[in-house]
Amino acid sequence: MTAIAEPDTGPARPGWWVIAGQESRDLWLGGRGAVLLFAHSVLLSAVTYLAATNQILNFLEQREAVNLLLQVSVAVGVLITLVVAADAISGERERGTLESLLLTPVSRGAIVQGKLAAAMSLWGGTFLVGLPYLWVLGHGVGAVAGAVLLGLLVGTLLSLAMAAIGLLISAASSSNKVSLGVSLFLVLALFAPTQLPAMPTSAVGDALTRVNPVTAGMHYLQLVVLKGHTWTQDLTYLVSPVVAVVGAIVALAVAGPRIVRLTGGGGPA
């Protein structure tokens, strides 16, 4: 992160806002954000082409294609957000820029909040990239507007929870490699059940789906977009994503400022 420029005029801005602005500029103007969104658009282009081809061959219905693209878009957006958050603190340590950041007249809590806001800007970018693809696959069946709103809701919940967890892992890790490795293992473990064959309908299978915030959120998307359920019919599946967000944000607010230090792994501040 480059040095924070002091404003010449105007009212003082909150510390987290200053950090978020600087982090977002480094992320987007530095090119990382653009590269990640380009890779995301390439993936969505391939998925859209395959889905559209299968529609022509009558292998996929239009709602199935929209659901597929929405699931991929949300999953990739959450992954990108987590990766950026996992690099936010540990990466600065290894690049030797964390010390200068800690010496600025901004609290450590504001540093954590600003980095969280900057990481979430990537989720916003990935979501916007997916909109044209959703329109291409879903126009004509009235599925686009509902899919967009649902994707925004579920994706924001999951991205916010994963970004907060990624920041905690990044602040506590002894190296950037450890932070990225642990974060990727976590997200893969959470997303893996969504790629397994559907479990038989049972109380145990339903409980396992609901406990995991990722499988619960994705299942809710599928029920509404693909099965045609109403938004309120299966709202209980959003309990675990909401709990994950609240828990992760509270943990970040309480522990984040204490573990944002020059050395990770519980070393001296």
Q: Give the model confidence (pLDDT) of 43-58 as tens digits.
A: 999 998 888 887 665 5
Q: What is the rounded average pLDDT of the residues 120-128? A: 94
pLDDT over threshold 60, residue 267: no
**Which residues, including other chains, have CB under 8 Å from residue 133's CB and lie 6 or more apart?**
44, 45, 47, 48, 69, 73
pLDDT above 70: residue 253: yes
Contact 173, 264 (CB under 8 A): yes
CB-CB contact of 160 with 83 (8 Å): no
φ/ψ (deg, to 5) at 159: -65, -40
- pLDDT of 10: 47
**pTM for the whole structure:** 0.88
Mean pLDDT for 34-47 is: 93
- Give the closest residue to 124 by CA, choosing from 229, 222, 20: 20
Residues ≥6 apart with Cβ < 8 Å to 8: none
The tens digit of pLDDT for each residue in 218-238 reads 999 999 988 888 888 999 999
Which of the four pLDDT bands, split at 50, 70 and 90, describes residue 8?
Answer: very low
- The pLDDT of residue 6 is 46
* pLDDT exceeds 60 at position 120: yes
Which residues lie below 8 Å from residue 74, measured CB to CB, with a gap of 6+? 151, 154, 155, 158, 217, 218, 221
pLDDT of residue 7: 44
Higher local confidence (pLDDT), 225 or 11: 225
